[in-house]
Amino acid sequence: MEKPILYQLLPRLWGNLCPDPVRSGTLSRNGTGKFSSVDVPTLAYLRNMGVTHIWYTGVVRHATTEAFEGCPASNPRIVKGLAGSPYAIVDYYDVNPYLAENVQERMLEFESLLKRTHAAGLKALIDFVPNHVSRDYGKKGWVNKEAKPFGADDDCTVHWKPENDFYYYPGQRLELPVSDGEPYPENPAKASGNRFSPSPSVEDWYETVRLNYGEEPNSTWEKMFDIVRWWCRKGVDGFRCDMVEMVPWQFLQALIRRIKAEFPEVIFLAEVYEPEQYSFYADVVGFDFLYDKSGLYDVLRSVFQGDSARKITSNWQSLASLQPRMLNFLENHDEQRFASDFFGGDARKSYALLGASLFFNTSAFLIYFGEEVGERGMDAEGFSGLDGRTSIFDWWSSGSLRRLYTQIHTGTGLSECEQETLERYSGLFRLARTPVISSGKTFDLGFCNLDTPGFDPDRHFAFLRSGGGETLLFFCNFSSVAAETTLRMPPEAFDALGIPLEDGVLPRVSVRPFDLAIVRLSFPIG
């Protein structure tokens, strides 16, 4: 089995070549990418880099301040940013009209994107947000007349009822934490996505409402079953499931079983943050892959900031047989860009972290679009502010993404630094697809080199991968100082990797600061 390499792409930004976006700019001023922007050259570029799946973020129609034919705008008070959050869905059976060249044919354009994706040998994932929907859900044009929107048959005179889709506060009006624009009337108030209160704070998901899954299967379950099945029939290959720990596991288990009975190849990726629950969500609930944010991501970030590299081994050992079910990453839309001033500051300092995250195990890996050229997330786009993240809330055009898009289509555009980073990343991702990484065995060399001259177990990390007829040595240097050492390979390594040799010494390795060295071993070892 090849190592899954996912590429998270926000179509709203991809292919938007506006050269001078302004903070909090409108759609007409700052522009947007389109489904058509994810074209054949883009898909060929991703496939050649080793990508296997594309996670299309922000496809399903969400609340926005822009109006389109048949799709009225939402009140700005319940929209984060002018473009809006991809996680405040207004119609689960529709796609965002701003992504289409022809608004009335937007679903056909998305279906064409799926066909292009599949023709390129790639699979397509979209977001599934089971915990909450926009406060405007079902009110801004409704595509599927055969399905009822959430809340259509609710009894809003009670706070909770098993068959209701939402939670209500009878006799209390919604008090929003923002006051710009016209008031948004909601009476009775509904519970927000992450808070049971008629008056959510500005830090809450105030633009969304929490769904009620009842104590037993109810109409919410059936509506969600139908929604996911509907997208599977469109040709979607999988779902990145948002905040699953906030949703009853019994529903998720039933959903996965029901969908896989009809569509066995569809994959489910869980956004989870409690490592002690990983085994439960994988083995009991049935998710194919789990975020390892609270595990390896947090460990690697702490190592970069000065913690001991020995923590990587501890994390690896804690996962044991779950390792192949994890999704590793250095970036996604929730986390700060590595090249931002809030993290590493320079993408070329990420290679040691990338080596440990990408090569130490057979786990799936996620790339966030633009990561491979050092997108910094250091624009003050509007709602999200200057926070080291590429905004998912605003109409925007990122300089590095424009240059990458131009490079793909014309062969020029990237800066020298961006080109260097892209070439390095591309080579590493292609290596990750080879049998030695996809299915090979791992041997951690740290414990047997604690006293090896030149090896600092707190700032260095070394391991072997063996399979497919070859053995590779990886040396990750998390230090600001270059490293040079000759590592020991103990007898148990030969047994573990199936190499019929005695105790030996590996070749001398030199590694630049914050870099990764990879040595292809040719035996016998002296």
Judge if 241 and 315 occupy the same domain: yes
Domain containing 58: what range? Answer: 5-135+229-433
Domain contains 306: yes
Q: Label residue 25 exposed, middle or buried (CB < 10 Å: 0-12, 13-18, 19+).
A: buried
Judge if 396 and 450 occupy the same domain: no
Domain contains 353: yes
CA atoms within 13 A on the CB side of 371: 29
CATH assignment of the domain containing 508: 2.60.40.1180
Q: How many residues does the chain have?
A: 526
Secondary structure (3-state) at 246: helix
Cis upstream peptide for 524 (omega within 30°): yes
What Å distances lie between residue 520 and 352, 427, 470, 473, 507, CA to CA?
17, 15, 8, 6, 10
pLDDT at 507: 86
CA 16 to chain centre: 21
DSSP state of 123: E
What Å distances lie between residue 99 and 58, 64, 133, CA to CA?
10, 13, 20
Q: Label residue 431 exposed, middle or buried (CB < 10 Å: 0-12, 13-18, 19+).
A: middle
Q: How much is the pTM?
A: 0.97
Secondary structure (3-state) at 222: helix
CATH assignment of the domain containing 269: 3.20.20.80
Helix orientation angle between 399-410 and 40-49, rounded to the nearest 10 degrees: 100
Judge if 415 and 447 occupy the same domain: no
Taking the CA atoms of 233, 125, 115 and 428 in sequence, report the sign of the dihedral they define: negative
Choose the final residue of a domain: 370, 398, 433. Answer: 433
Judge if 376 and 467 occupy the same domain: no
What Å distances lie between residue 129 and 91, 184, 235, 285, 302, CA to CA?
12, 23, 18, 17, 30
Judge if 29 and 121 occupy the same domain: yes
Q: Look up residue 262 and give its two tokens.
A: 């009809």
Judge if 466 and 420 occupy the same domain: no
Task: Provide the pairing of β-strand 238-241 with 267-270.
Answer: parallel
Q: Look up residue 260 and give its two tokens.
A: 């896989």
Domain contains 202: no
- d(C-alpha 425, C-alpha 423), whole Å: 6
Cis upstream peptide for 19 (omega within 30°): no
pLDDT at 497: 79
Radius of gyration for the alpha carbons in the chain, expressed in angstroms and rounded = 24
Choose the final residue of a domain: 393, 414, 433. Answer: 433
Domain contains 403: yes
Domain contains 161: no
Cβ distance 119 to 86 under 8 Å?
no
Q: Look up residue 479 and give its two tokens.
A: 């230090």
CA atoms within 13 A on the CB side of 87: 19
pLDDT at 526: 33
Cβ distance 476 to 460 under 8 Å?
yes
Q: How far apart, in Å, do the first and last CA atoms of the chain sit?
A: 34
pLDDT at 402: 99
Cβ distance 3 to 325 under 8 Å?
no
Q: Look up residue 157 and give its two tokens.
A: 């005179």
Judge if 389 and 481 occupy the same domain: no
Cβ distance 197 to 121 under 8 Å?
no
Judge if 70 and 47 occupy the same domain: yes
Judge if 349 and 497 occupy the same domain: no
Cβ distance 328 to 364 under 8 Å?
yes
Judge if 123 and 41 occupy the same domain: yes
What Å distances lie between residue 364 and 51, 240, 386, 432, 438, CA to CA?
11, 13, 30, 10, 9
pLDDT at 504: 59
| Chain position carrying tokens 């496809």 | 59
Domain contains 141: no
Choose the final residue of a domain: 433, 450, 478. Answer: 433
- DSSP lists the bridge partners of residue 68 as 71
Residues 6+ positions from 108 with CB-CB distance below 8 Å: none
pLDDT at 500: 62
- For the chain, the domain total comes to 2
- d(C-alpha 396, C-alpha 13), whole Å: 6
Judge if 57 and 120 occupy the same domain: yes
- d(C-alpha 263, C-alpha 260), whole Å: 5
Secondary structure (3-state) at 366: strand
Secondary structure (3-state) at 352: helix
pLDDT at 85: 98
Domain contains 88: yes
- d(C-alpha 366, C-alpha 92), whole Å: 25
Q: Look up residue 300 and give its two tokens.
A: 């690697």
Judge if 311 and 457 occupy the same domain: no
Backbone angles phi and psi of 318, in degrees to 5: -70, -25
Domain contains 223: no
Residue stretches of the chain with pLDDT short of 70: 499-505, 523-526
CA atoms within 13 A on the CB side of 249: 13
| Element housing 472 (H / E) | strand 470-477
pLDDT at 503: 47
